[in-house]
Structure 1
Amino acid sequence: MINLYIAPSSASSRKARAWLKDHEIAFQERNIKSKPLNAAEVKQILRLTENGSEDIISTRSNIFKQLHVDLDSLSVSQLVDLVVKYPDLIKRPIIFDDKRLEVGYNEEEIRRFLPREVRTAELHHLESQLSS
């Protein structure tokens, strides 16, 4: 099952929700403003990242600027504690399942959540158009 963690005020969150609905992809939605992540959930998301904290921390957020934190100097447990304490540090939306993670809304990257058969059919359709 695909999980969509959003902040309702985020335009990117609304775009991600609309894209998943438009493509008839089942997902569980959670407002992380009203129901913040716990430590285990933050660790689960970090495990799916390619670049660790860099992928999920909004270094442009006001709270990040106020905290004056050096992410590179934090241990994983310190980072997790920081995110749990200050949930606004997290980029939104966060879209993930057991193997894939997308942070933010990117029209190309979100396609990874399309079922394989849909992506294959679209590729064949594109190839046939190119060869015509």
Structure 2
Amino acid sequence: MIEVYIDGATKGNPGPSGAGIFIKGIANPVLLSIPLGVMSNHEAEYQALLFALKYCLSHNYKVVSFRTDSQLVDRAIEKQFAKNKAYAPLLDEALQLIAQFDLFFMKWIPSSQNKVADELARKALQGGEK
């Protein structure tokens, strides 16, 4: 199974943001740092999820296990509900993408287990490219 680690980072809240995506379980692991522009830290977490979902679908990775250190995103996916209405459109987009997978899991992990994605997200804050 392909494992996808995601993280968002923000300087300030809101502030310049970035997404980090680390994909393993394939021949060549994927490391992505994506500058996102100005947004809140929670929006950056959702954007990391959306970029990773789209990347996996575009590469025909249909059986995936996502890992995030964002409890907000993990709970929203699990319950299919965003408490904050501002995040509802992001959640809806994510759920539509998730429906296209053959098998999808999301698991919350502590930040200490998400270091690669965190470093990639922080790199994106410094102008890292995908």
Bigger helix share: 1
Larger radius of gyration: 1
Bigger strand share: 2
TM-score calculated relative to the size of structure 1: 0.23
TM-score calculated relative to the size of structure 2: 0.23
Higher RCO structure (Cα 8 Å, ≥6 apart): 2
